[in-house]
Structures are given as structure tokens and as C-alpha cells.
Structure 1
Amino acid sequence: MDKRHKRRGSTTSLLLTLAVLLIVTLVIIFFPVDAGAKQPVTTATEQQDDIEATTLIHAGDVAPDFTVEMLDGSSVTLSKLQGKPTLLIFWATWCPPCREELSHLQEGVIDVFGDKINVLPISRGEKRSLVEGFLDKMGYTFAVGLDGDQSIYRKYATNYIPRCWVIDSKGEVVYAGVGYDEAIAAEVNEALNKAIK
């Protein structure tokens, strides 16, 4: 009888534990903790509005000047690149569209435009060692700037990557883009072609 009583007690404890877990799970599902938090953008119009609101520099604006430390220890000042168009890109190692854009940069921009343009890809918010390891792994040969504290990025935008700007030879932005796909790649190449002429 003692064994039955213990067995009944442990069965009751198990059922009680399962009931509590079920209740907690249902509460989490139907009443999420962040229910009052800002919901993610869901429609294309809302997303475009959000992207637009976070874009500080648009086509027609003068590109804000900056000096960026390069991975090799040198520094580059944007205004000193005037004389030919510049493709400015902000990216991060963890960002899949950024990786695609960097592949396009290597094969579809640098190989196509060569020394007719300046290319300035800047890693946003990452440590030097992480960026070095990523570039080595991917086999990229272009020079990269480091914006670990995002101070340069914040002159141009407040959110979202990859982002790119095509800046003409006089320092005026002729194209500003967010994200990366084949259509954006074509737009960038078209903007660069126009800026070269």
C-alpha cells in the first residue's frame, strides 16, 4: 500500500507539472510579453516608408565627408576621392544580402569598371578581426573600411544594410539604394555608367 501511495503521489505531481506547463505555454502563445512593443513592418508600403525615414542622404544631396580607417591601417577621406565616381557601400559579415552585394562588387563592379571608379565598402559595427577573417575566407581582394562605432554610417542612414550610394566626381549623390538583388545591382551599374560620362 505504501508503494501505491507513492506512485499515486508521483503521478499527481507529474500531472500537476504538466498542467502548469500547458497553462504557461498557452499564456505565452496568446499573451506574448512584447505585445505592446512596436510590431514589425508588414506591408511593402510601410516597409518602404520605414526605409525612407531611416535614409538621411538621398540622390541630389552632397555626400557628407568623412575619413575612414581602412583594414590595412591606412585612411581614406571621401572628399579626396573626387575626380571620379565613388561607390560607397555599408555592409556587415552577418548579413546575407551584404555577402551577395560584395560578390557583385568583386565580379560585377570592380572587374567591369576597373579604375574608372572608386570603390569604398565599409564594414558597419564590426571588429577588425572579424572583418579580416571574413574577407580572407571569401577571397575578396578589395580594400575595406572599418566603421566599428557606426559614426560614418549614421551620417548617411540610421538603419538597414546593405546600403549603397553612388557619388559623382563632384561629390553629389546620384543614387541611393537599400538591400541587394539583381534589380538593385543593375541600378547601381547604370548609375555608375551615367556618373562616369
Structure 2
Amino acid sequence: MILGKRNKTVQILILSVIAILGGIAISNAYSKPTYPEVGSRIPDVSLHTLKGDTVQLSDYKGKSLVLNFWGSWCEPCEREMPTLQKAADDWKDRNVEVVGINYGEDAIVVDNYMKAVNVHFTMLLDSNKSVTKAFGVRPLPTTFFIKPDGKVHAIHTGEVTTSQLESYLEQMAKE
């Protein structure tokens, strides 16, 4: 009798541990990844420039940052490029950096594209698309407006117009 009770206790204990571990595994499988949102900090990720240099997003700390995720095949992305270039030119003396993050394309393709559309603001390559994924970007274009402290001021999904871009930048300048 004593042996039977002991085996039953061990069995219950083992089943309990399995149930708890199973619950944790299921919970992790269905939990949503956390992406930057308004008020949160952006991930400090590394990207490469067109020349192959490595850049950390934290290198821009202390500046307002316009992070634009784009692709050369994306028509709204192409339409907003002149707007982004104008902002880069107009705001460079006001502690604002405009940075493009290309979605998975080769440096040669991106360089040729930039020449074709006449833009020269900083361009970074997300070759394996991991940064775009870490930011939860869907669809392209998506633009993050980051305050000098590294926190997200706003996220704009879709093509950003000149008036929208100016409005975001003016809001950040007031903070």
C-alpha cells in the first residue's frame, strides 16, 4: 500500500511538471513579439552602410531621427524620397538626421537607385530583413520619428507627405 501511494504521488508530480512546462511552451508560442511603439525605445541594432561600414542606431543618440523603411520596388517609397531628401537638407542644422533603411536589397541596387532618384541622405542596408522584423514594419514604407533620447515620438505607416513630415519634425522640435 505504501509503495502504491508513493508511485501515485510521483506520477502526479511528474504530470504537474509536464502540464506547467506545456503551458509555458504554449504561452510562448502564442505571445506576440514586442515592437517599438510610441513612447518606447528603439532597439539598438547594427546595420551596414553602402560602403560596408557598421552603424549602431545608438550612434544617433542625442539627435532627432527619421528612420524610413523602404524598398526600391515600392512606388509609395519612391514618391516620398524627394520629401525625405528635402527634410534631410532643411533640418540637418537643427540636430535632425534622416536615415533610410532598405529592405533586403543589395548595396549596388540601392546605390544605383539613390543616384537615379537623386537622394543622398544616409542609407543603411537591412540585408537579412532582421531589423525590419525587429521594428515590426509592415507594410513599406514605414517611418519612425525618434526623439533625441531614443524614444519613439510617432510611427507613420505608408507614404509620408511633406506636410506630415514637417508636422512630425516641428512637434519633436518643441519637446
Q: TM-score, normalised by structure 1?
A: 0.66
- Deviation per CA, 1:6-37: give whole Å up to 9, x if none: xxxxxxxxxxxxxxxxxxxxxxxxxxxxxxxx
Give the match for residue 190 of structure 1: 167
1:94 aligns with 2:94: no
Q: Secondary structure at the match of 1:152?
A: helix
Q: How many residues align?
A: 142
> What is the CA-CA distance between 1:122 and the residue it aligns to?
0.8
Distance in 2 between residues matched to 1:125 and 1:171, nearest whole Å: 24
Distance in 2 between residues matched to 1:55 and 1:93, nearest whole Å: 27
Is contact 2:88–2:97 with CA below 8 Å preserved after alignment? Answer: no
The higher radius of gyration belongs to: 1
Detail structure 1 runs of 4+ shifted over 4 Å in the superposition: none
Q: Secondary structure at the match of 1:111?
A: helix
Is contact 1:166–1:188 with CA below 8 Å preserved after alignment? Answer: no
Distance in 2 between residues matched to 1:120 and 1:181, nearest whole Å: 14
> What is the CA-CA distance between 1:195 and the residue it aligns to?
1.8
> What is the CA-CA distance between 1:55 and the residue it aligns to?
9.2
**What amino acid sits opposite 1:112 in the alignment?**
D
1:130 maps to which of 109, 124, 134: 109
> Structure 2 stretches of 5 or more lacking a match?
1-31
Is contact 2:65–2:145 with CA below 8 Å preserved after alignment? Answer: yes
Give the match for residue 83 of structure 1: 62
Distance in 2 between residues matched to 1:54 and 1:175, nearest whole Å: 19
Is contact 1:67–1:76 with CA below 8 Å preserved after alignment? Answer: yes
- Deviation per CA, 1:132-159: give whole Å up to 9, x if none: 1111222212221000111111111152
> Structure 1 stretches of 5 or more lacking a match?
1-52
| RMSD between aligned residues | 2.0
1:56 aligns with 2:6: no
Q: 1:90 to 1:111 in 2, by over 3 A?
A: same
> What is the CA-CA distance between 1:89 and the residue it aligns to?
0.6
Give the match for residue 12 of structure 2: none
Identity of aligned residues (%): 27
2:49 maps to which of 45, 70, 78: 70
1:164 aligns with 2:143: yes
Is contact 1:62–1:173 with CA below 8 Å preserved after alignment? Answer: yes
Give the match for residue 92 of structure 2: 114
Q: 1:194 to 1:171 in 2, by over 3 A?
A: same
Give the match for residue 6 of structure 1: none
Q: 1:195 to 1:123 in 2, by over 3 A?
A: same
